[in-house]
Structure 1
Amino acid sequence: MLALIIVPMVMLRSCRSARTAATEAKLNAGQAEAATESGRDAVDTIGNAAARETKIHTTVKDGTDAIAQAPAGDSNDAADRAACQLRSYRDLPRCRALFHPRPE
């Protein structure tokens, strides 16, 4: 009689343990996938930052070269054109007029 009570209790506990283990395995797999995705995002972010740095460096170098090669009296215009290529200056009225002159 006691066996009729104990056996179902042991089976119930065994099923619960199996479900708990399966749930933990799913959680661990989800966490591993999330960590992989996070790492992938970090690598993409670093790659994008490196590309931006390269573009900025190229823009500044091209502007410096244009200023150095500008004929006498044109270096200020070359400096304006170089500065207006940079995002910080792009929206200044002087830069908008330089790259988007009003039609006459």
Structure 2
Amino acid sequence: MSLIILVSLLIGTVHARDDGRYSLSPLKPWFDSLKSGKGPCCSVTDGLAIADPDWESKDGHFRVRIDNEWIVVPDDAVLTGPNRDGRTMVWPIKAPLGTTIRCFMPGSMT
């Protein structure tokens, strides 16, 4: 019984939102190819654009504010390649025990 409950909780944390609205974007293949040390980031529809006040570099690590909570971005979640989109983006994973970051792509901090 506890296995069924655990599986139900894990299934509830998956939030795929690819409804096709970005299917013609020239950046879609690039977004689909993004991956961090934690694995594939998914696509632009799975990530969230973060405004400059909601992310920062502190003590050598990035932090993002999601749902009014500052979350430290794990070093292996940071994408180090060029940001072809220009926006700061984060791919959070929300679970019953809290939010973790799968991928983070810093922007220009303008």
Q: Return the TM-score normalized by structure 1.
A: 0.30
> Could you say which structure has the higher strand fraction?
2
Specify the structure having the higher radius of gyration (Cα). Answer: 1
Higher relative contact order (CA 8 A, sep 6+): 2
> Could you say which structure has the higher helix fraction?
1
Q: Return the TM-score normalized by structure 2.
A: 0.29
